Amino acid sequence: MNLLLIGAQGSGKGTQASVLVKRLGIQHLSSGDLFRSAIDQGTPTGLAVKDFIDRGELVPDALTIQLVVDQLKLPEFQPGVILDGFPRTRDQARALDKALAELGRGIDRAIYLHVPREQLMDRLMGRYVCVAHQHVYNLKSNPPQVAGVCDLDGSELVQRSDDKPEKIERRLQIFFEQTIQVVHYYRAQHKVIEIDGNQPIASVSTELLRGLGVAAEGAA
């Protein structure tokens, strides 16, 4: 199964991707995580994208498409993939459809996590991610068992450099002006499942799995 998770910044794409990985047994591929790892490792890609990410702007399509399409060819993504944060423009969506078609695959469902804009700032201001694997926490809705430490790998929890109010505003503006076009693109292909992301994390997971026709047991 090849799935897309589409949603505004803070809608819960990364959070729900972890649930889907466990439940469906396919791998998660987040363009944002790829970029942040490249920056941390100081690779040429990391150097090229750092300024865009720090400013909350989209990385240019050519660079983003190349990076994600190369990943899709890796063996771990052959059984299926949960794409998170890609595509974000119509050109990225067209490039993805073409690349998957060349691999004899296609998108099965595009999941749109819908959350009212006014909720998103609050969620992102309380978000912490672990330095080892970018596991996601929230001081209010999803705190770690030990403050400042990842439950899953014991690494330190930090705030993302783009989780600052003015950068969050810019990222949200880009979502509601541009990335929403990707929802329309896949709606025209009758592939969109719209999920109410403005409910507790476990309830979102249950609705999501039901929308995919997968039993909710084991979702947590």
Binding partner of 127, given Mg ion, ligand AP5, none, CB within 5-8 angstroms per partner class: ligand AP5
| Residue 182 sits in the site that holds ligand AP5 (CB under 6 A) | no
Asked whether 156 and 181 are in contact (CB, 8 A), the reply is: no
Q: Which does 168 bind (CB under 5 to 8 A by kind): Mg ion, ligand AP5, none?
A: none
Nearer to ligand AP5, 89 or 104 (CB): 89
Distance CA 71, CA 35 (A): 12
Helix boundaries (H) for the chain: 13-24, 31-41, 44-55, 61-72, 90-102, 117-125, 165-174, 180-187, 201-211
- 2: its two tokens: 């090849």
Residue 14 as a binder of Mg ion (CB under 5 A): the answer is yes
CB-based contacts of 206, cutoff 8 Å, min separation 6 = 216, 219
88 carries an active-site annotation = yes
Residues that bind Mg ion in the complex, under the rule CB under 5 A: 13-14
Residues that bind ligand AP5 in the complex, under the rule CB under 6 A: 7, 9-15, 30-32, 35, 52-53, 56-59, 64, 85-88, 92, 123-124, 126-127, 136-138, 141-142, 162, 171, 197, 200-201, 204
